Amino acid sequence: MKKLTGPFTQILPLTGLSLKGPLRDDQLQVITNGWVLTNNGRIITIGPFERLRRDHPSAQVEEIAGRHVLLPGFIDCHTHICYAGSRAKDYAMRIQGKSYLDISKAGGGIWDSVLQTRAADEEMLTELLLLRVERHLAEGVTTIEVKSGYGLSVKEELKQLRAIKAASQRTQATLVATCLAAHLKPKDFDGTQNEYLVHILSDLLPIVKKENLTNRVDIFIEDGAFKADNALNYLNRAKQMGFDITVHADQFSTGGTAVAVEVGAVSADHLEASKGKEIKLLANSNTVAVALPGASLGLGMQYAPARKLLDAGACLAIASDWNPGSAPMGDLLMQAAVLSAAEKLSNAEVFAGLTFRAAQALRLSNRGTLATGTPAELQAFPCDDYREILYQQGKLRSQILY
């Protein structure tokens, strides 16, 4: 059914912008007093009411009261929101000055979330995930990547991935699953890091492929997680099996970006420790650089060098890293606004990083813009100037229009 929705004081289609490098606000196309014509959930065109009504007289008219700025729905290309339990104890230790490793040695960290998530059944995980998905959706995020990685055994990783699949069938949001069985070597696995990765390759990923649970594989390359050499072999073999690759890279130390670029990863995420070498590697590759300001806020550490990445020519996406440990807030827009102030990112660069550039990190070529044929995932902000959105640092909330 055709539907004509509007009027909008401003519409930012985010079309015609480059995928890589810096963007200026004067490059944004801003359509004033426009309407959007959709058909069965897809955008047909944008234009003035009189013309669209004349050309499509049978379209149902949906009038939006008040003054609004229209943007595509946001895309969060890195989350860990399929989990059970809380890590408030970790946070309390962290703000008392304890390090990430100190907390892990005291029984906190990722392993604590593993134990709490293992204790939940698939139905409970699905319900917990849906609560977080619906909150994200209410805050303008219409496409959400969701990782496993709190199972760390064949049985428990499959439970998480099946919960993500079940949740995706019960929400209007689009969920994109990623297998992060290589989050760290589980404490109850009797073998080396490399033996655990071989175990995933031989005993887990074939089932994931058979059940069509995801076509994405991730690994955490870091001290205390996985070494670069082991990760490279693992990722190359996963790629040969037909999986897209993404990498947790350069969070506390460098090394992950080089692996991501060498293996042709879709994205390298975190990058707080990235320096000139890593920035140049990403800028000269097709790997999307994903900044995760939520982790920087949660851990009290520096942000990814977003400004330098853009100026070097990289494709920069911004994601929340919503997880129970290092990034429990999960407020994507607020985090992006704070990052923009710290790193001096323009409105255009932030909106691109939350939409079509984030879509690139998920290989979703048909999302993140208001273009003909794209899903009609629209968000309307109650203001008359798009610059109000970041200015209000996440306090201006949008209305989702499907």
**Tens-place pLDDT, residues 57-87:** 999 999 999 999 999 999 999 999 999 999 9
Query: Which pLDDT score, from 0 to 100, does residue 30 have?
Result: 98
The rounded distance, in Å, linking the Cα atoms of 214 and 179 is 7
Give me the torsion for CA of 382, 388, 394, 395, rounded to 10°: -60
For 2-73+368-401, CATH number? 2.30.40.10
Query: Which pLDDT score, from 0 to 100, does residue 402 have?
Result: 82
245: β partners: 217
What burial letters (b/e) apply to 126-136, b meaning 16+ CB within 10 Å? Answer: bebbbebbeeb
Angle value at C-alpha 238, between 234 and 242, nearest 5 degrees = 165
The DSSP call for residue 121 is -
Residue type present at position 76:
D
**Tens-place pLDDT, residues 344-387:** 999 999 999 999 999 999 999 989 999 999 999 999 999 999 99
Determine contact, residues 68/402, Cβ cutoff 8 Å.
no
What burial letters (b/e) apply to 14-38, b meaning 16+ CB within 10 Å? Answer: bbebeebbbbeeeebeebeebbbbb
141: β partners: 74
Indicate the domain borders of the chain. Answer: 2-73+368-401, 74-360
Stretches where the chain sits below pLDDT 70 are: none
Q: Could you tell me whether strands 174-182 and 60-63 are parallel, antiparallel, or unpaired per DSSP bridges?
A: unpaired
Place of tokens 């990430």: 100
Determine contact, residues 23/42, Cβ cutoff 8 Å.
no
Determine contact, residues 393/334, Cβ cutoff 8 Å.
yes
The DSSP call for residue 212 is T
Query: Which pLDDT score, from 0 to 100, does residue 138 have?
Result: 97
Query: Which pLDDT score, from 0 to 100, does residue 206 have?
Result: 98
pTM above 0.95, yes or no: yes
Q: How many CA atoms lie within 13 A of 316 on its CB side?
A: 30
Could you tell me which CATH class the domain 74-360 is placed in? Answer: alpha beta
Helix axes of 122-138 and 154-168: crossing angle, nearest 10 degrees: 50
The rounded distance, in Å, linking the Cα atoms of 185 and 182 is 7
